[in-house]
Amino acid sequence: MSAIFPKWTNRLPVMIIIGGALTASAVTAGVWYYFTPKYARVGYQPIQPVSFSHATHVNQLGMDCRYCHDKVEQSWFSNIPAASTCMNCHNQVLKDDPRLELVRESAATGKPIPWVQIHRVPDFVYFNHAVHVNRGISCVECHGPIDKMEEVYHAKPLSMTFCLDCHRDPASKLRPLDKITDLNWTWSDDPNVAAQTQRAKGKEMMDHWRVESLENCSACHR
């Protein structure tokens, strides 16, 4: 009597078990990685080679973000300042402080300080800082209250949903260009627009700057 099923079906239960185990392992590994703070990065706060307090420099001393990140209005990326920028002040202020030894060494040798990158989007995402900053999007929208951080941490998810929420309703996020780095500023601080809502004023700026509500894939994936 000929077999009803081909011989390879005898291995089918083993193949199903192995396939199920591999699938379960892949799903577990994916969830384990992609749902951890290291990937989502919210709350990620690495130890840096030099302790730098934004709370002291920005909130207490009133330094503008663009003094250190001076390329943010011209470039797609927000540059980390060279040690020579730090030494513009620290050649006088705390000039012999041992905590700044690496900064002084970097300024003297030109060897960059090995800062640990905190804010990051996937390689398949294109983000241009200059486009956003020059059209009324403040640092605080993506970086959170960075001016009050003793040590910088990753405050916002920077996920696709996070970006799309802003792209779908940019009017609610826009502010005057001279308030971009004033992270504590709100529309209620402007007596000239007390009678207007933030959205109405934002819509006004959207029209003036020709800001588009981009949701097409090519806006961010190039």
Burial class (CB in 10 A: 0-12, 13-18, 19+), 214: middle
User: What's the pLDDT at 194?
Assistant: 64
By C-alpha distance, which of 148, 191, 176 is closest to 58?
A: 148
Per-residue pLDDT of the chain (222 residues; tens, 9 = 90+): 455 767 777 777 777 888 888 888 887 766 665 555 556 688 999 999 999 999 999 999 999 999 999 999 999 999 999 999 999 999 999 999 999 999 999 999 999 999 999 998 888 999 999 999 999 999 999 999 999 999 999 999 998 999 999 999 999 999 999 999 999 998 888 877 766 677 788 899 999 999 999 999 999 998
Amino acid at 109: T
Q: What is the pTM of this model?
A: 0.78
